[in-house]
Structure 1
Amino acid sequence: MRYFQTGDRTEPAVVVEHDDGLYDLSEAAVGIDSFRELARSAAIADRSLTDLTAALCEDAPTVAREAVRSELRMPVRPDEIWGAGVTYAISQEDRQEEGGLGETYLDAYEAERPEVYFKATPTRTVGPGEAVGIRGDSDWNAPEPELSLVLLDGEIVGYTVGNDVCSRSIERENLLYLPQSKIYDRSCAIGPAVALVDDPHDLEMSMTIERDGESVFSESTSTAEMVRTCEELASYFRRHNYVPELTVLLTGTSIIPPADVTLREGDTVEITIEGVGTLENDVVEV
């Protein structure tokens, strides 16, 4: 099942893809106009999200795929967005050449405790079809495609695609600048859907950067290459921490463009995760 958010603030709707059909769940139950409300209702009723969705689909009208595609919004509006880093071997290998930073990243890769950090607020985050941002004071800006966990009260209830845009040149200057390289206007994108998947640790993932109609970078990987589990990362996020009702947790990347490839205004970033969907965003300088 995949859940999409459509409509606007006056007429929001949550649409589910189920058994090759698209159903408007907001027309089947009063108050179910977002994935948050749906997941909350399932928790209150002590029912699985799958069972509740299937029951609602019996009374929900179908929706044309073209209509959903034209009205796509950010699939969830989380209270906070967090990230996890150095969860793939390529991530720490890529940083071995970054002077004294290499040892720090290697330590995080091998340590029992993962890197978990605050990434964005909803106002700094965009959805499918909206533009992600690159900082005007950075000369190396990179997209980072990541499987992302959707957490209700800290527990995993679904998965989405995330783009953890990073100002790599600022990060390289000094690790104390990491928040500035990660947290700024339009620094994160999520979408296009919240999906229920059988095994989050066996999904194909790819990313392409297009410029003037041509691909300037393209690479693929698998979440099977992760050295941490999704449950482990969610567990460390919850430890001794205030947990909002709804959170998105990005799980790290293994696709990092080389230093001679930097995002430019007007580029398009396309990230696809098997079973979840394709997140596409243009790029704008902020």
Structure 2
Amino acid sequence: MSSATVPDKGILLGRAKLPGCNYPRVITVRGGTVFDITSKSAPTVRDIAELENPAAYVAQAEGVEIGDINTIAENSWSETGNSSAPSLVSPIDLQAVKASGVTFVASMLERVIEEQAKGDKAKADSLRSDVLNLIGADLSQIVPGSPAAMKVKEALIARGAWSQYLEVGIGPDAEIFTKGQPMSTVGYGSDVGLHPISSWNNPEPEIVLVVSSAGRIVGATLGNDVNLRDVEGRSALLLGKAKDNNASGAVGPLIRLFDGDFTIETVKNAELSMRVEGTDGFVLDGASNMAKISRTPESLVEATIGRHHQYPDGLVLYLGTMFAPVKDRDGPGKGFTHKMNDVVSISTPTLGTLSNRVRLSTECAAWTYGTSHLLRDLAKADLL
């Protein structure tokens, strides 16, 4: 676990589970100390995101000290945590959980390979070389939907190599899908889940934007968009099965709200690092550079929310990743796939570190606390 759980500066917002309290409390971190800022005026993270100036509210909010952030983060690990002490949970609550796919060239090419390989890892290496040779262009320089992009599309169609993934990678329309339902994400230290049918899967390190119901981006956090490569590779129509399972979406550790020092431009220039550490001694290092995204974060938000689609409680949006694991784990040509108890850590200096342990979705804690439960508990506490 990285010692830099949260950044050493910025206006931070999240949630924590406290002993003796049935519902998560809204928290912030100041100077390494965690404060409970739950109030009747803003009892949920969603309510704070809807304010005119969320960062100013959190910076000035009165709070009750509940402990040191590193101690609380350490206690958040699902396999070692102490229920009689505070722990972090996902920093979002009522927001819809959306994701954008195929927003980086490297990720796009891997999706094409998945489609061509039909979930067979052994075919992936040779297909990867074939696809790169066939394209014969630097797609990172092509603006999706532009005339240049359409020429590449025409060339690929003529060669019989067009793909639905190339369509959303360089075509006019972004891929936006539902990653999970409100309240379904897990936080720092929780187990993340893989559907038991999958034998080829991977983490996806991403930045996650926090967006108000008005479509205003108010902050960002980190996310692991757990992916089943074999399932999606068999058919894009299985995207729901590949993406939306128990504990398949991690978010955290905390939201960093936009202020004068942290802005959307910071997000656009962020470099994410990721490490997978297995109990078998395997280590995989990866990265995702937001400067190489092919669609701007703003355009992805606009494709998600607007006159065409509203989200009354706001949303969070995974921005996609350029990370595509190709390092062999169990032998030449076998590629990468998770093993149980892998620990995945995603980091960037401005947002901290999100770490989770990999389990089967059927073995992760069942998702039993939903929106109705939260609202009832807040009403009982006279916070609504």
Q: What TM-score comes out, normalization by structure 2 length? A: 0.66
Residue pair 1:144, 1:163 contacting (<8 A) in 2 also: yes
Report the Cα offset of residue 21 of structure 1. Answer: 5.0
Residue pair 1:96, 1:102 contacting (<8 A) in 2 also: no
Q: Give the corresponding residue for 1:168.
A: 229
Alignment of 1:90-239 (within 5 A): 90-97=106-113, 98-99=115-116, 103-122=163-182, 124-153=184-213, 154-196=215-257, 197-198=262-263, 199-212=266-279, 214-239=281-306
Report the Cα offset of residue 78 of structure 1. Answer: 3.5
Report the Cα offset of residue 38 of structure 1. Answer: 2.5
Tell me how far apart the structure 1 counterparts of residues 59 and 95 of structure 2 sit (CA, whole Å): 27
Report the Cα offset of residue 179 of structure 1. Answer: 1.8
Tell me how far apart the structure 2 counterparts of residues 232 and 91 of structure 1 sit (CA, whole Å): 18
1:245 equivalent among 284, 304, 313? 313
Q: Give the corresponding residue for 1:10.
A: 22
Of 242-251 and 97-106, more deviation after overlay is shown by 97-106
Tell me how far apart the structure 2 counterparts of residues 190 and 267 of structure 1 sit (CA, whole Å): 17
RMSD value over aligned CA atoms? 2.3
Tell me how far apart the structure 2 counterparts of residues 50 and 122 of structure 1 sit (CA, whole Å): 23
32 and 219 in structure 1: CA distance in 2 versus 1, 3 angstrom threshold:
same
Q: How many residues align?
A: 277
23 and 167 in structure 1: CA distance in 2 versus 1, 3 angstrom threshold:
closer
Deviations 1:116-158 (A, max 9, x none): 1111114542111111111111110111111111122032111
7 and 228 in structure 1: CA distance in 2 versus 1, 3 angstrom threshold:
same
Contiguous gaps of at least 5 residues in structure 2: 1-10, 76-86, 117-159, 327-333, 363-384
Return the letter of the residue paired with 1:162: G
Return the letter of the residue paired with 2:22: T
* Larger gyration radius, structure 1 or structure 2: 2
Return the letter of the residue paired with 1:242: Q
Higher strand share: 1
Q: Give the corresponding residue for 1:280.
A: 355
Tell me how far apart the structure 2 counterparts of residues 170 and 143 of structure 1 sit (CA, whole Å): 14
Residue pair 1:124, 1:184 contacting (<8 A) in 2 also: no
2:104 equivalent among 88, 91, 104? 88
- Percent of aligned positions that are identical: 29
Residue pair 2:345, 2:354 contacting (<8 A) in 1 also: yes
Return the letter of the residue paired with 1:189: A
273 and 213 in structure 1: CA distance in 2 versus 1, 3 angstrom threshold:
farther
Tell me how far apart the structure 1 counterparts of residues 24 and 200 of structure 2 sit (CA, whole Å): 37
Report the Cα offset of residue 14 of structure 1. Answer: 2.5
Residue pair 1:101, 1:172 contacting (<8 A) in 2 also: no
Q: Partner of 1:282: helix, strand, or coil?
A: strand
Q: Partner of 1:271: helix, strand, or coil?
A: strand
Tell me how far apart the structure 2 counterparts of residues 33 and 214 of structure 1 sit (CA, whole Å): 44
Residue pair 2:94, 2:183 contacting (<8 A) in 1 also: no
122 and 101 in structure 1: CA distance in 2 versus 1, 3 angstrom threshold:
farther
1:65 equivalent among 54, 66, 69? 69
25 and 123 in structure 1: CA distance in 2 versus 1, 3 angstrom threshold:
closer
Of 166-175 and 254-263, more deviation after overlay is shown by 254-263
264 and 78 in structure 1: CA distance in 2 versus 1, 3 angstrom threshold:
farther
Q: Partner of 1:125: helix, strand, or coil?
A: coil
Report the Cα offset of residue 33 of structure 1. Answer: 4.2
Report the Cα offset of residue 72 of structure 1. Answer: 1.0
Tell me how far apart the structure 1 counterparts of residues 72 and 230 of structure 2 sit (CA, whole Å): 38
Report the Cα offset of residue 238 of structure 1. Answer: 1.1
